[in-house]
Chain A
């Protein structure tokens, strides 16, 4: 049973660049959400996708956008990178419907912005 997988695991970008992170949900899951975790803090909710639409969004600027594909995988895009975007980006998945089920996380993509 494949868990949540994310790529790449590490990447380095410079200010102003754009980045795309990818996520495949756990087998049988159709809802994907993204979180940002700064050093020493808990993860912060960015947004959630279900049926290829953004369903919930946290307090993040429009520079953060996403997409969900028909196979339920997802991408997180961040434009015009800032130094403060350096963080661990976590993808999570669960079964859809009422979104009250257990959430499972991937290993994360660690982004460094120079």
Chain B
């Protein structure tokens, strides 16, 4: 099956700093989503981005499908950004089955 690798596994920042999280995947995909998992376990949708670039406030994401990677940018980080960030992909031949990476754990210190 498709492999999803996220890096870095852990990231510690001071409040106000910027960061880039990366998601590499081993095969072509037709779905890609970024999630933020809060301390209570809920997965919060950040971006649905099979290709291209999107921005939402301090967050933006870029997916280069032909090169099989996606980037999540967090600018001017806040303590509330802390948590685990997951990338999830789906292949058309396995539509409906999302494969997740192991996540990046972000800690933002005040």
Shortest beta-carbon distance, A74 to chain B, in Å? 14
Q: Once the chains are docked, how many angstroms separate the CA of A44 from the CA of B100?
A: 7
Among A56, A90, A98, A102, point to the contact of B97 (Cβ < 8 A).
Answer: A56
Q: Are A99 and B96 in contact (CB under 8 A)?
A: yes
Q: Are A99 and B99 in contact (CB under 8 A)?
A: no
- Residues of chain A lying within 8 A (CB to CB) of residue B99: 45
Q: Are B96 and A110 in contact (CB under 8 A)?
A: no
B55 at the interface (CB under 8 A from A): no
B74-110, CB < 8 A from A = 86, 88, 90, 92, 94-103
Interface string of B33-51 (1 = CB under 8 A from A): 1010000111101001000
Q: Once the chains are docked, how many angstroms separate the CA of A50 from the CA of B98?
A: 15
How many residues of chain B have a CB within 8 Å of chain A?
25
If A42-B103, A103-B33 touch, does A108 touch B98 (CB 8 Å cutoff)? no
Q: Are B96 and A31 in contact (CB under 8 A)?
A: yes
Q: Once the chains are docked, how many angstroms separate the CA of A110 from the CA of B33?
A: 23
B31 at the interface (CB under 8 A from A): yes
Q: Are A56 and B96 in contact (CB under 8 A)?
A: yes
- Of all chain A residues, the one with the shortest Cβ separation from B99 is A45
Q: Once the chains are docked, how many angstroms separate the CA of A6 from the CA of B42?
A: 11
A21-44, CB < 8 A from B = 31, 33, 35, 37, 40-44
Q: Measuring CB to CB, which residues of chain B are less than 8 angstroms from any residue of chain A?
A: 4, 30-31, 33, 35, 40-43, 45, 48, 86, 88, 90, 92, 94-103
What are the nearest 3 A-B pairs in CB distance? Answer: A42-B100, A105-B43, A99-B96
